[in-house]
Structure 1
Amino acid sequence: MNVQVAVKMKSGPSIMLASGTWFDLLDPWHSHFTIEDIAQGLSNICRYAGQCRDFYSVAEHSLHVCDTIEEFKLEALLHDAAEAFIGDITRPLKQLLPEYKAIEANVEAAIYSRFGLNQMATPHVKLADLRVLAAEQSQLMPVGTDYWAAQSDVRPAPVTVEFLSPSNARDRFLAKFHELTC
Structure 2
Amino acid sequence: MSDCITTYTGRHFDPLHPEEALICIEDIAHALSLICRGNGHVKSFFSVGQHCILCAREAAARSYSSRLSLAALLHDASECYMSDVPRPFKKSLMDYLKQEEKLLKIIYRKYLGSALSQEEDMKLKSIDNDLLWYDLKYLLGETPAEPKPAIHITVDYTVLPFKTVEEEYLKLFRQLSSRIGQ
Query: Contact between 2:31 and 2:80, CA under 8 Å: does it hold in 1?
Result: yes
Q: Is 1:48 equivalent to 2:35 in the alignment?
A: no
Report the secondary structure of 1:148's partner residue.
Answer: coil
Moved more, 169-178 or 20-29: 20-29
Q: Is 1:172 equivalent to 2:168 in the alignment?
A: yes
Which among 115, 119, 122 is matched to residue 116 of structure 2?
A: 119
Aligned residues: 168
Q: Match for residue 3 of structure 1?
A: none
Runs of 4+ in 1 over 3 A off after TM superposition: 153-158
Relative to structure 1, is the Cα distance of residues 110 and 168 closer, same or farther in structure 2, using a 3 angstrom cutoff? same
1:26-175 paired onto structure 2 within 5 Å = 26-69=16-59, 70-71=63-64, 72-115=68-111, 116-120=113-117, 121-144=120-143, 147-150=144-147, 154-155=149-150, 158=153, 159-175=155-171
RCO (CA 8 Å, sep 6+): is it higher in 1 or 2?
2
RMSD of aligned alpha carbons:
1.7
Q: Distance in 2 between matches of 1:180 and 1:117?
A: 15
Query: Contact between 1:134 and 1:157, CA under 8 Å: does it hold in 2?
Result: no
Report the secondary structure of 2:4's partner residue.
Answer: strand
Query: Contact between 1:132 and 1:157, CA under 8 Å: does it hold in 2?
Result: no
Per-residue displacement from partner, 1:23-71 (whole Å, max 9, x unpaired)?
1112213551210011011111000010001111000000000111132
**Contiguous gaps of at least 5 residues in structure 1:** 1-6
The alpha carbon displacement at 1:156 in A equals 5.1
Q: Distance in 1 between matches of 2:133 and 2:29?
A: 24
Relative to structure 1, is the Cα distance of residues 123 and 91 closer, same or farther in structure 2, using a 3 angstrom cutoff? same
1:8-19 paired onto structure 2 within 5 Å = 8=2, 13-19=3-9
**Contiguous gaps of at least 5 residues in structure 2:** none
One-letter amino acid matched to 1:129: D
Structure of greater Rg: 1
Percent identical pairs in the alignment equals 29
The alpha carbon displacement at 1:149 in A equals 2.7
Taking structure 2 as the reference length, the TM-score comes to 0.85
Query: Contact between 1:76 and 1:125, CA under 8 Å: does it hold in 2?
Result: yes
The alpha carbon displacement at 1:117 in A equals 4.8
